[in-house]
Amino acid sequence: MNEITVPPKPQKSPTKIVRNIGIGIGLLALYVWAFATIEIPWGRIFSERTIANFDRVIPKLFSPDFTFAEKVLNYMMETLFIAFTGSFMAAILAVPFGFFAASNINRNPFLNTMGKWILNADRTFPEILLALIFVVAIGPGAFAGVLAIAIHSVGMLGKLYSEVIESIDMHVVEAMEANGANKVQIFFYGIMPQVIPEFLSYAIYRFEIDVRASSILGIIGAGGIGTLLVISSRNRNWDEVGMILLVIIIFVSIIDYISTAIRKRIV
Amino acid sequence: MNKPLNTNVPTGLVSGKAKLRMNLIMLVVLGLYIFSSVMTNSSVLRFNAEFFENVWVMVVQLFPPNWAYAGVVWGKLMETVKMALIATTIAGLLCIPFSLLAANNIVHNKFLYNFTKMFLNIMRTIPELILAVVFVGLFGIGVFSGILALIIFSLGILAKLISETIEAIDMNPLEAIRASGGNTLQVIWYAVVPQVLPQFVSFTLYVFEINVRASVVLGFVGAGGIGLILRQQINFLSYQNVSTIIVITFVVVVIIDYISNKLRGRLV
Amino acid sequence: MIEFKDLSLVYPNGTQGLKNVNVKINEGEFVVIVGLSGAGKSTFIRSINRMVTPTHGELLVDDENILKYKGNDLRKLRTKVGMIFQNYNLVKRSTVMKNVISGRLGHTGTLRSILNLYKKEDMALAYESLKRVNIEEKLYSRADQLSGGQQQRVSIARVLTQQPSVVLADEPVASLDPPTSHQVMKYLKKINREDNITTIVNLHFIDMAMEYADRIIGMRSGEIVFDGPASEVNEKTFEEIYGRPIKEDDIRGGKDDNEQTP
C-alpha cells in the first residue's frame, strides 16, 4: 500500500452537534443534581448497627415461621378477596368508560379526549394513596381496599378496553346499520362479540396485578396480608415476615401462571 | 305426511353445550364476586347514603389546597424523583447481565437460563412496598432503603422486558460476527447491542415512569420521599395540606409521563 | 489448501448432513457447490469455518485438522476464513462502516473493539474494501437504508476487511434479483482473481454456476456426486446431480452484458 486512505469523517449538521451536546450537558446536570443532593447517611448505613441488623434479620427471613402459616393464609385469602372484588367491579365499570373513550364510538372529539384524560388521570393515583383516603373517609378495613383497587383499575382497564373497541371491524357495524338494526341491537350483536374475549383477557390480567397491589394495602389499614406485615415488622418478628413473603411469592406465582394459561385460551 | 317441524329448527344461536358452559362460567364468577364482596364487607349494600356522605365530607375537607405548604411538598417531591432516577439508572445497568442470561438465544445452558428466569420471576412477585419494609428493617429509615427497594423491583421488570427483546432479535448478524472470528463479548457488542439499544432506552424510560409513581408511596413505610409527609399530614388531619401534596404530585407525575412518552415515541 | 478426509456429519436430530466426503480444494480456486436444498451444501461450507462441527473424519485447512479447534484457535481460523450469507447478516441499525469494521474483530482486542479504538490502518482497510465494491459513498448510511444488492456488497466488504485466505458464500444471491445477482458474483470473482482468495460458493442456479466457477462440485444427500471443471459441465450433468429434469427455477437468467462490470 503506497498511501493510507482514511475514510472521510462523518458529516454532521451543526444543529445536530449542538443538540447532542445540549442533551449530554442536560443529562450530566440531571445526574449531578440527583446524586449530589440526595441525602443518604452513609455513615449510618455502613455502621455496626447495619451489620447487627443483617445478623438479626437475614437468617430469620430465610427461616420462615411455619406455625404462623395458618394466620398468614387467612389474611392472604382476604387479599385475594379484595383483589377479586375490586377487579370485578372495575371490569364492569370500565365498560362504559371504555366506550366513552373510544374514538370510533364516541364521535365527539371533545368528549372523547375528555374520556381519555379522565382515565389517564385516574391511573396516576396509586391504589395505596386512594386506600389511604378511603381509610380516613370510611374507616379502616377491607372495604377501603376494595374501593381503592376498583377505582385505580378502572383507569387502566378503561384505556385498554377503549383501544380494543377502536380496533374492531367497523364493517360489521355498517352492515348491521344497513340491515336496519338499531343502536342497542348493533351494540349487542355487532360490537360486544368482537370485544368480549379481549375484555375478559384484560380483566384477568388486571386481577393478576391487583393481587400484588392489594397485598400492600394492609400497610395503611385497608385490609389483607399487609396488615400482618406491618405488625410483624414492627415487632421485629422477621421469621414471620419471611413466612408472609413466602406466601405472597407462592400465591402471586400461582395466580400469574393460571391467569396466563386462561388468557392464552381466551384470545 | 305432516311431520312436526320443530325437529329441524335450531333452538338457539349457539350450541346448547357452549351455552351451558358459558352460563356456568358466568354463574361461578358472579358467585365468587358475591362471596368475596361479603367476605371483604364490601357488598353493593355498602354503597348507601352513609357511604356517600362520608366520602363527601372527606372531599370537602380536602379543599381548598393550602398553597403555603407547597414549598415543603416540592422539596420532598424532588427527593422522590431523585430516588426514582437513581434507582432506574442502577437497575438499568444491573439488568444487562441478567437480561443476557435470561435470553434463550444467548445462553444455551438450560439450567442457567431457567434459574435466571425463575429468579427474576420471583423478584417481580414481591411488591416494592414490601421490599421497602424489609430494607427499612435492614438499613433503617431513609431514602437508601427506598432506592434499594426500587432497584430490586425494577430490575425484575426491566430484565424481563429486555430479555424478551433480545430473544426476538435477528440472529443472522450474530452468526456473521462469529464467523469472522469475534469472541462472545464482541458478538454481543456488535450484533446484539445495536439491535436492542432503542428498546433498552425506551423500556428504561418506561420503568422510570413506574418508579416515580412507586416512590411516591414508599414514604408510607419510612423509605423516603413524599409519602412520608403525606402520611404524616393525614395523621395530623391536615387535609388541605394533603390535597396540596396530591395536586402537586399529580402535576409532576403527568409532566414526567408526558416527556417520557414523547421521548419513547421518537425512539422506536 | 482445504482437504476433506472421509468427513461425515450427523446432526443431533439424526439428519445426515455429510456422508464420507473426500475432496481437496486448492488455493485460489473458485469452486461452486451445486445441489438441491437439503443436499448438504450448507453443511459442507459451514464445516470449513466450524459453524457446524463434523462428527467423523478429518478436515484440514492449511494442513491442520480444524475439528479439534476450540476458543482462540477457532476464532483464528474464522479470521482466516471469511463468510458471506444469503441474508447478508448485517446489523441493520448500525452504519455501513461499523458493519465493515466488524470484519476486523478477530484481529482486534475486546476492549479496543468495544471502545471503537481501531488502528488507522484498519479504518483505511475497511474504507478500501468499501471502495473495491463501489459503495464507499454509503459509508455512514444505516445498513437498513440500503437495497439488497448494496447490502450484499457491504457484506463482501466486511469479508475483505477480514483479509481472509478463504471466502465461503452460502447462497449469496438467493435473495437478489437477476441483474444484482450477476453483479455480486462478479465482485466475488474479482476478489478471487485479484487477491488469490480461495472462494467456495453455494448456488443452485446452473447458469450462474457454469458462468463463474472454475470447478463445480455437485452434492446430493450429503454426498459428492460430481466434481470437475466447469468447462466439462452441461445441463445433463446437472440433471444427474439433481436427480430430476432441470426446471425454470434452476436458472437465474437476467445476464445483461451492458451492465457495468466491476
Dump pLDDT digits (tens) for A127-145: 888 998 899 888 899 999 9
Dump pLDDT digits (tens) for A46-104: 888 888 888 888 888 888 888 888 999 999 999 999 999 999 999 999 999 999 999 88
Write down the mean pLDDT value for chain A. 88
pLDDT the model gives residue A213? 92
pLDDT at B36 over 80: yes
Is residue A57 in some structural domain? no
Q: Where are the beta strands (DSSP E) in C146-248?
A: 166-170, 198-202, 215-220, 223-229
Residue A239's identity, in one-letter code, is D
pLDDT at A217 over 50: yes
C-alpha cell at A238: 422477621
* pLDDT more than 90, % of chain A: 48
Class of domain C2-248: alpha beta
Confidence of residue B2 (pLDDT cuts 50, 70, 90): low
* pLDDT more than 70, % of chain A: 99
Cβ of C180 under 8 Å from any chain B Cβ? no
Task: For residues A124 and A39, state if they share a domain.
Answer: no
CA angle (C177 as vertex; C176, C181 as ends), nearest 5:
65
Dump pLDDT digits (tens) for B243-264: 999 999 999 998 998 999 898 8
Distance from CA of A137 to the nearest CA of B (A): 5
Looking at CATH, the fold of the domain delimited by B68-267 is given as: MetI-like fold (1.10.3720)
pLDDT the model gives residue A126? 86
Whether residues C127 and A5 touch (CB distance < 8 A) is answered with yes
pLDDT the model gives residue A98? 93
| Residue C36 per-residue DSSP state | -
Phi, psi of A257 (to 5 degrees): -65, -50
pLDDT the model gives residue A159? 93
Torsion-angle region of residue C223: left (phi > 0), alpha (psi -120 to 50) or beta? beta
Contacts of B267 in chain C (CB under 8 A): none
d(CA C123, CA C104): 9
Q: What CATH number did the domain enclosing A85 receive?
A: 1.10.3720.10
pLDDT the model gives residue C2? 92
pLDDT at B16 over 80: no
Closest-CA residue of B relative to A234 is B137
Contacts of C128 in chain A (CB under 8 A): 5
pLDDT the model gives residue A254? 94
Residue B71's identity, in one-letter code, is G
Dump pLDDT digits (tens) for B38-59: 888 888 888 888 888 888 888 8
- Three-state secondary-structure class, residue C242: helix
Instruction: Let me know: does B218 contact B224? Beta carbons within 8 Å.
Output: yes
Domains of chain A: total: 2
In B163-192, the residues whose Cβ lies within 8 Å of chain A are none
Task: For residues A97 and A216, state if they share a domain.
Answer: yes
Cβ of B217 under 8 Å from any chain A Cβ? yes
Helix axes B128-139, B193-218, angle to 10 degrees: 70
CA angle (A208 as vertex; A207, A212 as ends), nearest 5:
105
Is residue A254 in some structural domain? yes
Contacts of A6 in chain C (CB under 8 A): 120, 123-124, 127
C-alpha cell at B117: 428466569
pLDDT the model gives residue B151? 95
Task: For residues A32 and A77, state if they share a domain.
Answer: no
Distance from CA of B42 to the nearest CA of A (A): 5
Q: Residue written as cell 476486523?
A: C104
pLDDT the model gives residue C43? 93
Number of helices (H) and strands (E) in chain C: give both, helices first.
Answer: 9, 10
Cβ of B70 under 8 Å from any chain A Cβ? no
Of A137, A230, A233, the CB nearest to B54: A137
| Residue A83 per-residue DSSP state | H
**C7 beta partners:** C21
- Three-state secondary-structure class, residue C133: coil
Is residue A235 in some structural domain? yes
- The three-state DSSP-derived secondary structure of B9-22 is CCCCCCCHHHHHHH
Task: For residues A25 and A103, state if they share a domain.
Answer: no
Whether residues A38 and B143 touch (CB distance < 8 A) is answered with yes
Is residue A149 in some structural domain? yes
In C94-113, the residues whose Cβ lies within 8 Å of chain A are 97
d(CA A236, CA A37): 32
pLDDT in tens, chain C (262 residues): 899 999 999 998 888 899 999 999 999 999 999 988 888 999 999 999 998 999 999 999 998 999 988 888 888 899 999 999 998 898 888 889 989 988 888 888 888 888 888 888 888 999 999 999 999 888 888 888 999 999 999 999 999 999 999 999 999 998 899 989 999 999 999 999 999 999 999 998 888 899 999 999 999 999 999 999 988 888 888 888 888 888 888 888 876 554 444 4
Of B129, B140, B142, the CB nearest to A219: B129
pLDDT the model gives residue B154? 93
d(CA B13, CA B17): 12
Task: For residues A81 and A108, state if they share a domain.
Answer: yes
Domain boundaries in chain C?
2-248
Phi, psi of B68 (to 5 degrees): -65, -20
ipTM: 0.84
Task: For residues A110 and A38, state if they share a domain.
Answer: no
Q: Could you tell me the maximum CA-CA distance found in chain C, to the nearest angstrom?
A: 55
d(CA A91, CA A77): 21
Of C75, C85, C98, the CB nearest to B172: C85
Name chain A's partners: 3 or more CB pairs within 8 A: B, C
pLDDT the model gives residue C256? 54
d(CA B214, CA A133): 17
Compute the Cα dihedral for C97, C99, C100, C104 and give only its sign: positive
**Model's pTM, two decimal places?**
0.83
Whether residues C128 and A5 touch (CB distance < 8 A) is answered with yes
Task: For residues A129 and A192, state if they share a domain.
Answer: yes
Domain interval for residue A23:
14-46
Task: For residues A27 and A140, state if they share a domain.
Answer: no
Tally Cβ neighbours within 10 Å of residue B118.
12
Instruction: Let me know: does B249 contact B77? Beta carbons within 8 Å.
Output: yes
Compute the Cα dihedral for B20, B21, B22, B25 and give only its sign: positive
Name chain C's partners: 3 or more CB pairs within 8 A: A, B
Task: For residues A160 and A35, state if they share a domain.
Answer: no
Q: Is the peptide bond before A109 cis (omega within 30 degrees of 0)?
A: no
d(CA B56, CA B70): 24
Chain length of chain C: 262
Dump pLDDT digits (tens) for B100-157: 999 988 888 899 999 999 999 888 889 889 999 999 988 988 899 999 999 999 999 9
Distance from CA of B55 to the nearest CA of A (A): 6
d(CA A148, CA A142): 10
pLDDT the model gives residue A250? 94
d(CA A51, CA B138): 8
- Three-state secondary-structure class, residue A237: coil
CA angle (C73 as vertex; C67, C75 as ends), nearest 5:
100
Closest-CA residue of B relative to A36 is B82
Instruction: Let me know: does C100 contact C129? Beta carbons within 8 Å.
Output: yes
Strands ordered across the beta sheet of C56-61: C16-25, C2-10, C56-61, C64-65
For residues B59, B62, B63, B67, the Cα torsion angle rounded to the nearest 10 degrees is -160
- Three-state secondary-structure class, residue A2: coil
Is residue A52 in some structural domain? no
